[in-house]
């Protein structure tokens, strides 16, 4: 995945409807299963809960690793 593809994904993921969000989530899961590292930054708890690990920041500092 090129740098441009990464940026494009980051810019559109917050603007998706439920069906498209599920499809993008499935794509990210497949990429992760292929050994790729996925870093997803979100304010959406439902999206975050799909991750194997959640890193939370508060006031710009590491707050908790779940």
Task: Dump pLDDT digits (tens) for 28-53.
Answer: 888 889 888 888 888 878 778 888 88
Identify the pLDDT of residue 7: 54
Whether 1 has a pLDDT exceeding 80, the answer reads no
Q: Taking the CA atoms of 46, 48, 50 and 54 in sequence, report the sign of the dihedral they define.
A: negative
Task: Dump pLDDT digits (tens) for 2-32.
Answer: 554 555 565 556 666 777 778 888 888 888 8
To the question of pTM greater than 0.95 for the whole model, the response is: no
């Amino acid at each position: 995945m090129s740098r441009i593809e990464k940026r494009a994904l980051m810019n559109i993921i917050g603007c998706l409807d439920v069906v498209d969000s599920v499809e993008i989530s499935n794509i990210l899961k497949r990429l992760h299963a292929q050994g790729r590292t996925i870093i997803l930054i979100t304010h959406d708890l439902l999206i975050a809960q799909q991750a194997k690990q959640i890193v939370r920041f508060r006031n710009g500092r590491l707050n908790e690793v779940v």
